């Protein structure tokens, strides 16, 4: 997205929560009070380890799941509350989702033309069968396939081609916003760049806005305008893509970046890393205060007691971490801040 464009909010996610009732009357807090905006025309990368709530966030925004509480505002309209069947259906003409597994997400018994035309049918977007088929042909071409593919079944395609079919299906209703949930994670590395290039081309041509979900920061680096980092149902940091990579503030973000290999072997050998200890705790019984504290090399007393406030430390750079609390000067948080500076300095 060009810097000079005025940033207009397409989505506002406000204090969104999604809890699941699980066995023994337990409650699993998959997404627990997250707030962020997505600007029109941008790619917002959402990252974090498996199980941190990325898919649940996407699915709750698009109302595959009912939010437990909080709100979602789309193009100025609140869509997080109770919605009629019809309102939900209307939503799917504006928002679409692309899934991780192109094998599981396409019905194996349907021909490609019928898979792609589903949205056209639901929203009555074609006046005649002829128009419908023409639209399918156009969509196939848009995603780099061709009309001969229309009468085939999903199993006749490679993983990359299936993801293209999934993209064509999403585009059929001419959406404004697409949630791409790890769309390239299941693909061969050689195919990943092709699918990313396609998504970028479509964004330029059609002015699409993306929520691009990935479990690893290296994957979203080049395509995201801004990046949000999740940990155990919470958003811990959000900033422009460059800022997240060059000046990560949250120890968890620093740890995720440490895990990405650096091409230069000399830098790779000498750079300071934040290595994570232990496993991600259960979202049924998350740690008190800051959820990351049990694995944080810089944890302080306050971290067990108080959930860190989500706030904007510098323009456009948000973080929830007691090392960066409002009013805490960088020198005051002495030992941890020093450690942070070392990490930044050694890059």
Ligand X SMILES: Nc1ncnc2c1ncn2[C@@H]1O[C@H](COP(=O)(O)OP(=O)(O)O)[C@@H](O)[C@H]1O
Task: Choose among ligand X, Mg ion, none what residue 159 binds, the Cβ cut-off being 5 to 8 Å by kind.
Answer: none
Residue 55 near ligand X by CB under 6 A: yes
x/- binding map, residues 31-50, to ligand X, per CB under 6 A?
Answer: -----------------x-x
Cα–Cα nearest to 219, from 264, 254, 189: 189
Site for ligand X in 280-299 (CB under 6 A): 283
CB closer to Mg ion, 97 vs 120: 97
Which residues, 6+ apart, have CB-to-CB distance to 202 below 8 Å?
142, 143, 167, 171, 208
- Residue of 39, 40, 41, 53 that binds ligand X (CB under 6 A): 53
Would you say 245 and 343 are in contact if contact means Cβ atoms under 8 Å apart?
no
- Dist CA 237 CA 313 (whole Å): 10
Contacted entry of ligand X, Mg ion, none for residue 165, CB cut-off 5 to 8 Å set by kind? none
**Which member of 34, 39, 41, 56 binds ligand X (CB under 6 A)?**
56
Residues that contact Mg ion, how many (by CB under 5 A): 1
Q: Which stretch binds Mg ion (CB under 5 A): 50-58, 137-145, 155-163, 288-296?
A: 50-58
**Position 154 contacts ligand X (CB under 6 A):** no
Residue 103 interacts with ligand X (CB under 6 A)?
no
Q: Which residue from 111, 131, 94 is spatially nearest to 10, judged by alpha carbons?
A: 94
Pairing mode, strands 226-231 and 43-47: parallel
**Which residues have a Cβ under 8 Å from the Cβ of 130 and sit 6 or more positions away?**
none
Min CB(235)–ligand X separation in Å: 12
Q: Are 178 and 96 in contact (CB under 8 A)?
A: yes
Applying CB under 6 A, does 217 fall inside the site for ligand X? no
57 makes contact with Mg ion (CB under 5 A): no
* CB-nearer residue toward Mg ion: 213 or 236: 213
- Closer residue to ligand X, CB minimum distance, 21 or 315: 21
Q: What is the 3-state secondary structure (H, E, C) of 72-134?
A: EEECCEECCCCCCHHHHHHHCCCEEEECCCCCCCCCCCCCHHHHHHHHHHHCCCCCCHHHHHH
- Please report whether residue 105 would count as binding Mg ion according to CB under 5 A: no
With CA atoms as reference, report the closest residue to 52 among 295, 337, 339, 333. Answer: 295
Which residue's structure tokens are 């080049």? 222
Q: Is 55 in the site for Mg ion (CB under 5 A)?
A: yes
- Tell me whether residue 150 or residue 256 sits nearer to ligand X (CB atom): 256
* Minimum distance from residue 182 beta carbon to ligand X (Å): 8
80 binds ligand X (CB under 6 A): no
Which chain residues interact with ligand X by CB under 6 A?
A: 20, 22, 28, 30, 48, 50-56, 283
């Amino acid at each position: 997205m060009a810097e000079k464009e005025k940033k207009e909010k397409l989505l506002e996610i406000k204090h969104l929560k999604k809890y699941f009732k699980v066995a023994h009357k337990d409650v699993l807090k998959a997404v627990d009070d997250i707030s962020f905006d997505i600007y029109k025309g941008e790619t917002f990368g959402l990252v974090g380890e498996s199980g941190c709530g990325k898919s649940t966030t996407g699915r709750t925004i698009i109302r595959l799941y009912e939010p437990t509480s909080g709100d979602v505002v789309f193009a100025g309209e609140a869509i997080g509350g109770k919605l009629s069947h019809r309102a939900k259906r209307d939503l799917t003409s504006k928002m679409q989702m692309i899934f991780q597994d192109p094998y599981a997400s396409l019905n194996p018994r349907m021909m490609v033309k019928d898979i792609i035309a589903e949205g056209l049918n639901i929203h009555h977007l074609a006046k005649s069968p002829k128009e419908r088929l023409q639209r399918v042909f156009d969509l196939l071409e848009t995603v780099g396939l061709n009309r001969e593919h229309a009468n085939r079944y999903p199993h006749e395609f490679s993983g990359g081609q299936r993801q293209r079919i999934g993209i064509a299906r999403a585009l059929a209703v001419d959406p404004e916003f697409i949630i791409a949930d790890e769309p390239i994670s299941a693909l061969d590395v050689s195919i990943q760049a092709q699918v990313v290039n396609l998504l970028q081309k479509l964004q330029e041509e059609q002015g699409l806005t993306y929520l691009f979900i990935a479990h690893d920061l290296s994957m979203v680096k080049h395509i995201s305008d801004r990046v949000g980092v999740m940990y155990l149902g919470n958003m811990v940091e959000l900033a422009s893509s460059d800022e997240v990579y060059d000046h990560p503030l949250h120890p968890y973000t620093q740890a995720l970046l440490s895990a990405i290999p650096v091409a230069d072997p000399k830098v790779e050998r000498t750079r300071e890393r934040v290595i994570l200890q232990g496993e991600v705790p259960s979202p049924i019984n998350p740690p008190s205060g800051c959820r990351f504290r049990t694995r944080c090399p810089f944890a302080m007393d306050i971290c067990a007691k108080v959930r860190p406030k989500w706030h904007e430390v510098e323009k456009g750079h948000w973080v929830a971490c007691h090392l960066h609390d409002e009013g805490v000067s960088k020198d005051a948080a002495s030992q941890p801040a020093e450690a942070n500076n070392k990490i930044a300095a050694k890059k």
